Amino acid sequence: MRSLNHKIFLMLFCVLIVVKLFTAEVSLADDPIVAFSIKKGASFDNKITENSYEDISKYIVLFTDENGFLGEKIYFILVDFLWWLIPALYFVVVLGARYKSRLR
């Protein structure tokens, strides 16, 4: 069972890292339209403002909407907060389990 938990955690962490590094909310400086996009190169920026429509061609646009996209708040919780919090909590749990097993 413990091995399964490790595999699930590792898979979840890898998915969060890929989402963090390769997706972004791309918007234009003078337009309320927001595009949820895949970046062609990895970066930690997840909110990008471009100056023209030609600059948006650098991204693979999945969908667009005005003034944000559906699930935007959840997306930013994932990429700003949970992608590092989940591994930190897992590290604490593993250390606690090892410490507990040493006391026996």
Do 34 and 26 form a contact (C-beta atoms < 8 A)?
Answer: yes
pLDDT for 32-81, tens place per residue? 889 999 999 999 999 999 998 888 888 999 998 988 888 899 999 999 99
Confidence of residue 2 (pLDDT cuts 50, 70, 90): low
pLDDT for 80-102, tens place per residue? 998 888 888 888 888 888 888 88
Q: Distance (Å, rounded) from C-alpha 36 to C-alpha 49?
A: 12
pTM: 0.80
pLDDT for residue 1 is more than 60: no
More confident residue, 5 or 60: 60
Q: Label residues 52-61 b or e (16+ Cβ within 10 Å = b).
A: eeeebeebee
pLDDT value of residue 88: 87
Average pLDDT of the chain? Answer: 87
Parent domain of 6: 2-103
What's the structural domain count of the chain?
1
